[in-house]
Structure 1
Amino acid sequence: MDSFWNEPKVPLALLFVAFLVTFLITRTITRLIRAGKGPFRNNIQGGVHIHHAVPGLILLLIGAVTSVAAAGHAPGSLIAAVLIGVGASLVLDEFALILHLTDVYWTKEGQLSVQVVSLTVALLGLLALGIDPFTEDDLSAVGHLGLLVVLPVHIACVLVCVAKGKYSTAAVAAFIPPVGWIGAVRLARPGSRWARRHYSDAKKQRARDRASAFDARFGRWGLDVEDLVAGKPTMGE
């Protein structure tokens, strides 16, 4: 049993579970507070609303220090993983609030927090499943010469995806290179830096048309999922 807890992937799995469970619990509690149901209330001390990103930052810092001190040894590494997962979840759940420096939690802008958390869950899930672009197995498979050729191309494709405004694609491409290759050659998002610098007026219009078609087909589905998870935003709230 002791050997199980010393497996290198166990802390990462604990971090993933702690992150996901904390987010679900946090959103459940905040929705109950918003609806005025249950025993939960906003944490207001001395007239100041203490947002849950504050204890999240504290837990995140404690977890980081614990992780360094543990140097990969259980049980310190396991405790650190849980602390980091819980703390990071609390912080990222209010990512939009931190970004805008105002309480946009229940507004349309606040949905950005859900998107960031969803992307983080996806990346942590890939890591927990063992998909790691920096393992020795990958190096031995392609060889040093192959790595010198493939890695710069891979990094370039990820950076192009970022420049084209395809942030989710870039994040997934860090683990699954073909996603980046496809994203790099397809049209950029119309408001991206790449489109502004490199596209003619005709190509910008093509990018807008494609983005509009994509958002019309998949955007509403994504918003429905976000509303289901996070609660429907209220304009002006």
Structure 2
Amino acid sequence: MGDWLQRNIVEPGKLPLLIALASFVLTFVITRVITRLIRAGRGPFGNVSAGGVHIHHVVPGVVLTVVGGFGAVASGRSGFGSYVCAAVFGIGAGLVLDEFALVLHLDDVYWTEAGRKSVEVVVVTAALVGLVLVGFAPFGVNDLSDEELQDRGTVLSTVAVNFLFALAVLSKGKVKLAVFSVFVPFVALFGLVRVARPDSPWARRFYRRRPRARARAVLRAYHHDRRWAGPRRVLGDWLGGKTDAELSRAAEHRTDAPP
């Protein structure tokens, strides 16, 4: 089955990556469904505790990620063992990144606004792995011809230039654009020509004595955040569920509504 898939569906050697990505996305979806059911008090599921300590699913996620990663290294790049390890690694990564915000804040922020970071990280990770799966290589190496790939100087200069572009975009406070520009260098141009965010290293360095530039940065960031706050919230509610604050406001609204 694996050999047939590699001959007809995916490029040779990329089946483990496809399995890992599918396991990653499926695990995230299933985990979010189960946590919503637990939160609503429906279904047979419940929180796991040991000795009075709540066991977050990031814990088995770390274990599975370690097992799958070391197993993949030990099993080689092909064969049934590599497929199993890829699935285990994808499941573990899905469990870990679903609680990325908890690891970041060292606090249980799963159902708060800060917890939305987990959903964003999962979406970005899935998108980046998808780019690799369809043939994108970091720093524009995939755009080079076979002859150019034989020239180490050309490869190194291409990687260096694209890396500097991505670093410049990152210094402007545009993290997502910088991450995607690593795989699609053309994306960096959008970040380079636009005004930096007011709290970014770029703004602190180059806008310090330019009050008009600082004002433009603040105004642009305000309009950008306001424009995308609604779609971001809708996507977060759909993928990750509503926050505790949103549910509380909805409950108060229902209570205050006239009969």
Q: Report the TM-score when normalising by structure 1.
A: 0.92
Q: 1:5, 1:74 within 8 Å by CA — same for their partners in 2?
A: no
Does 1:154 find its partner at 2:190? no
**Count of residues paired in the alignment:** 237
Match of 1:126 among 128, 131, 134: 131
2: distance between equivalents of 1:216 and 1:136? Answer: 36
Task: Please name the residue that 2:221 is paired with.
Answer: 211
Task: Please name the residue that 2:52 is paired with.
Answer: 47
The residue correspondences of 1:1-237 to structure 2 (distance < 5 A) are 1=1, 3-4=3-4, 7-133=12-138, 138-140=143-145, 143=148, 144=151, 145-199=153-207, 200-235=210-245
Q: 1:158, 1:184 within 8 Å by CA — same for their partners in 2?
A: no
Percent identical among aligned pairs is: 44
2: distance between equivalents of 1:137 and 1:198? Answer: 34
Output the amino acid matched with 1:156: L
CA pair 79-2 structure 1, distance change in 2 beyond 3 A:
closer
Q: 1:57, 1:88 within 8 Å by CA — same for their partners in 2?
A: yes
Q: Output one character per residue of 1:29-77: Cα deviation in whole Å (capped at 9) or x when no partner.
A: 0011111111111111111000000000000000011011012121121
2:176 match: secondary structure:
helix
Q: 1:172, 1:179 within 8 Å by CA — same for their partners in 2?
A: yes
Deviates more, 1:115-124 or 1:145-154: 145-154
Output the amino acid matched with 2:175: Y
Question: What displacement does 1:103 show?
Answer: 0.5
1: distance between equivalents of 2:106 and 2:211? Answer: 35
Q: Which has the higher contact order (CA 8 A, sep 6+)?
A: 1
Output the amino acid matched with 1:121: A
Question: What displacement does 1:127 show?
Answer: 1.4
Output the amino acid matched with 2:199: G
Q: 2:141, 2:159 within 8 Å by CA — same for their partners in 1?
A: no
Larger Rg computed on CA atoms: 2
Deviates more, 1:204-213 or 1:125-134: 125-134
Question: What displacement does 1:140 show?
Answer: 2.8
2: distance between equivalents of 1:108 and 1:142? Answer: 50
CA pair 73-45 structure 1, distance change in 2 beyond 3 A:
same
Question: What displacement does 1:5 show?
Answer: 5.6
Please report the RMSD computed on the Cα atoms of aligned residues, expressed in angstroms: 2.1
2: distance between equivalents of 1:135 and 1:152? Answer: 10
Gapped runs of 5+ residues in structure 2? 7-11, 249-259
Q: Report the TM-score when normalising by structure 2.
A: 0.85
2: distance between equivalents of 1:12 and 1:210? Answer: 39
Gapped runs of 5+ residues in structure 1? none
Q: 1:15, 1:84 within 8 Å by CA — same for their partners in 2?
A: yes
Output the amino acid matched with 1:207: A
2:183 match: secondary structure:
coil
Q: 1:19, 1:89 within 8 Å by CA — same for their partners in 2?
A: yes
2: distance between equivalents of 1:105 and 1:118? Answer: 16
